[in-house]
Amino acid sequence: MMLSREVGRRMLARGARGSIINITSTAGESARTGGSHYCGSKAALNMLTNTMAIELGPTGIRVNSVAPGLVMDSVMSWEHPPADEYALALLKGIPIGRTARGEEIASAVLFLADNDRASYVNGAIVNVTGGGHAGRAHLPPSRRAERKS
User: How do residues 119-146 score in pLDDT, each as one tens digit?
Assistant: 999 999 999 998 888 877 776 676 665 5
Instruction: Give me the torsion for CA of 128, 35, 32, 45, rounded to 10°.
Output: -40
Fold for domain 2-146? Rossmann fold (3.40.50)
pLDDT for 121: 98
Q: Which of 38, 86, 120, 148 is catalytic?
A: 38
pLDDT tens for 81-114 read: 888 888 888 888 899 989 899 999 999 999 999 9
Please, what's the b/e burial string for 69-92 (b: 16 or more CB within 10 A of its CB; e: otherwise)? bbeeeeebeeeeebeeeeeeebbb
Residue 148 is a catalytic residue: no
Residue 42 is a catalytic residue: yes
Domains of the chain by residue range: 2-146
pLDDT of 148 strictly over 70: no
With cut-offs at 50, 70 and 90, classify the pLDDT of residue 31: confident
Q: Which of 42, 86, 92, 120 is catalytic?
A: 42
Pairwise CA distance, residues 120 & 62, whole Å: 8
Say what angle helices 2-14 and 36-56 make with each other, to 10 degrees. Answer: 10
